[in-house]
Amino acid sequence: MTKLSVNINKIATLRNSRGGNIPDVLKAAIDVQKFGADGVTVHPRPDERHIRYKDVHEIRPIIQTELNIEGYPSPKFIDLVKTVRPHQVTLVPDPPDAITSNSGWDTINNLSFLQDIIGELKEYGIRTSIFVDPNPDIIINAAKTNTDRIELYTEPYAALYPKDREKAIAPFVEAATIARDMGLKINAGHDLNLQNLKFFNERIPFIKEVSIGHALISDALYFGLEVTINKYKQLLIKD
Ligand SMILES: CC(=O)[C@@H](O)[C@H](O)COP(=O)(O)O
Ligand SMILES: NCC(=O)COP(=O)(O)O
């Protein structure tokens, strides 16, 4: 089964909108695991408008599955992950003011930067993943960074899926196949949801993990967190 890592940023966003501690992010991290998630994803940003650095420290000890920390590798972020020691770090090239992640790394122009950061994280025994667009040249260069995994940025897939799912998936199958042949493991995420997830997982059956937040937390408003996680997990079963 492809692993489901639940991104709890949106729970922190809701909490931050009022101050106080409702909803409780720590409890959510405990509960998503209890309800069947295979991991917890957090993406701290410099202004801490979503998950806060303090949350990440508090979440670490209650992780019984896997913790994936996503983010731009600023010195502050690198200090955080070296202290917290998650199972996986996903490097994302977001500018500080981006509303959400909106593209993958240019692995050609950032090759030596990524090699250095990835080398540093590996010294700490942290598995690495880099967020990338499904572009063959980008994937070929991703392999040169020595990263363990790539995370395919699936927003373009999600956007096109309702109109033409074959056209939407084609570049992702090609990119994933190149990555696999180069020895990389593959994660995916961004805008995956109950409608588009099953097809993605069927067409790229060797995918290791998806991280899902925005749609999953929104679905939980209607179905509740436990039922929602179960619905997503059902879509990730491999034949
Ligand atoms: C790296 C990535 O794909 C993003 O989807 C991100 O982690 C989502 O987090 P936000 O919901 O806080 O934008
Ligand atoms: N890495 C993707 C992620 O964590 C969640 O993205 P989204 O489901 O909130 O779009």
From CA 154, how far away is CA 131, in angstroms rounded? 10
What are the pLDDT digits (tens) for 9-24? Answer: 999 999 999 999 999 9
Nearest ligand to the CA atom of 41: 2
201 lines ligand 2 (CB under 6 A): no
What are the pLDDT digits (tens) for 171-217? Answer: 999 999 999 999 999 999 999 999 999 999 999 999 999 999 999 99
Residue bearing the CA closest to ligand 1, atom 10: 100
Q: Does the pLDDT value for residue 96 go beyond 90?
A: no
How far from 92 is each of 143, 151, 235, CA to CA, in Å? 16, 9, 26
Strands 127-132 and 88-91, how do they pair? parallel
Name the band, by pLDDT with cuts 50, 70 and 90, for residue 117: very high
Distance, CA 122 to ligand 2 centroid (Å)?
24
- Report the mean per-residue pLDDT for the chain: 97
187 lines ligand 1 (CB under 6 A): no
Nearest ligand to the CA atom of 214: 2
Task: State the architecture of 3-235 in CATH terms.
Answer: Alpha-Beta Barrel (3.20)
Residue (of 16, 19, 86) closest to 52 by Cα position: 16
Distance, CA 209 to ligand 1 centroid (Å)?
15
From CA 7, how far away is CA 46, in angstroms rounded? 17
The mean pLDDT value for 65-76 works out to: 97
154 lines ligand 1 (CB under 6 A): no
From CA 188, how far away is CA 22, in angstroms rounded? 29
Instruction: Clarify whether 57 is annotated catalytic.
Output: no
Provide, rounded to the nearest whole percent, the portion of the chain with pLDDT above 70: 100
Distance, CA 45 to ligand 1 centroid (Å)?
10
The Cβ of residue 167 has, within 10 Å, a number of other Cβ atoms equal to: 11
Q: Does the pLDDT value for residue 83 go beyond 80?
A: yes
What are the pLDDT digits (tens) for 36-68? Answer: 999 999 999 999 999 999 999 999 999 999 999
SS3 at position 124 = coil
Provide, rounded to the nearest whole percent, the portion of the chain with pLDDT above 90: 95
- Give Cβ neighbours of residue 146 (< 8 Å, ≥ 6 apart): 115, 118, 119, 122
The residues spanned by each domain of the chain are 3-235
Indicate the DSSP class of residue 2. -
Q: Does the pLDDT value for residue 239 go beyond 80?
A: no
Instruction: Clarify whether 87 is annotated catalytic.
Output: no
Give the CA count within 13 Å in the CB-facing half-sphere of 80. 27
Question: pLDDT at position 138, please?
Answer: 98
SS3 at position 157 = helix
Beta strands in 39-145 (DSSP E): 39-42, 67-71, 88-91, 127-132
